[in-house]
Amino acid sequence: MIIRNQNLVEDDHTKLADDAPLPARGKIIVSLARWRAETETLKQRGNVGVQIPSDLDVSELKADLPALACIVVSFVFIKPKPEGGITFDGRAYSQAQLLRERYGYKGDIRAVGDIFRDTIFAMHRCGVNVIEPKAGTSVEDALNAFKDFSMAYQASADGQPSIFRRRIA
C-alpha cells in the first residue's frame, strides 16, 4: 500500500532493475541511468516513472517531464557527518518544489526512503503527492501525519497559503 493524494491505495507501479525486460504494459519505475539509455523506447511505451538521486539538478529533466508519469525522489540519511553520527539529506524537498513550481510538473512525485511521520506534512507542502512508507512502518500512521499540522509559515507547492498570507488577506 502507498499513499496517493492522501488516500491509501494499492501500489500500481512496478520497479524495474536496469537489466529487467520491459513488460508490455503497466506502470513502471526505472532508474535515471536506464531512462537516459532507453529514453526513446520508454517514451513510446508510456506509463514510465524515473527514480532520481538526491544530488540531481532537476533542470536536467526539463525536456523529459511531459513523458514522465512519475518522478521518485529519495529521502535518505547521510553517514557519517563530519562530527560523527548521521544527518538527513533534505535535497529531495527542493527537487519536489522545483518540479512543481518552476517546471510545472503535473505527474506524481513519489517519496521513498527514510520517511518518518514528522516529515510527511513538509513533503506534501513541497509537492510530493505519493508517499511510499518504508517496509515495516504503519501506512495508517503515515496517513494520519497529514493531520499533524494545520498551518505553516513557509510558502508551498500544495496551494495552501502560509500563515503570513492568511494574515494579510
Per-residue pLDDT of the chain (169 residues; tens, 9 = 90+): 899 999 999 999 999 999 999 998 999 999 999 999 999 999 999 999 999 999 999 999 999 999 999 999 999 887 777 787 788 889 999 999 999 999 999 999 999 998 888 888 889 989 999 999 888 888 888 888 777 766 555 555 555 555 445 556 5
Find the DSSP H helices in the chain.
32-37, 39-45, 91-101, 117-126, 139-144, 163-168
Terminal CA-CA length for the chain:
39
> 31 with 18: CB under 8 angstroms?
yes
The pLDDT of residue 163 is 47
H or E stretch covering 31: strand 27-31
pTM exceeding 0.75: yes
The pLDDT of residue 119 is 86
Angle at 8 between CA 34 and CA 50, to 5 degrees: 10
C-alpha cell recorded at residue 56: 540531481
Exposed, middle or buried, 54 (CB in 10 Å: 0-12/13-18/19+)?
A: middle
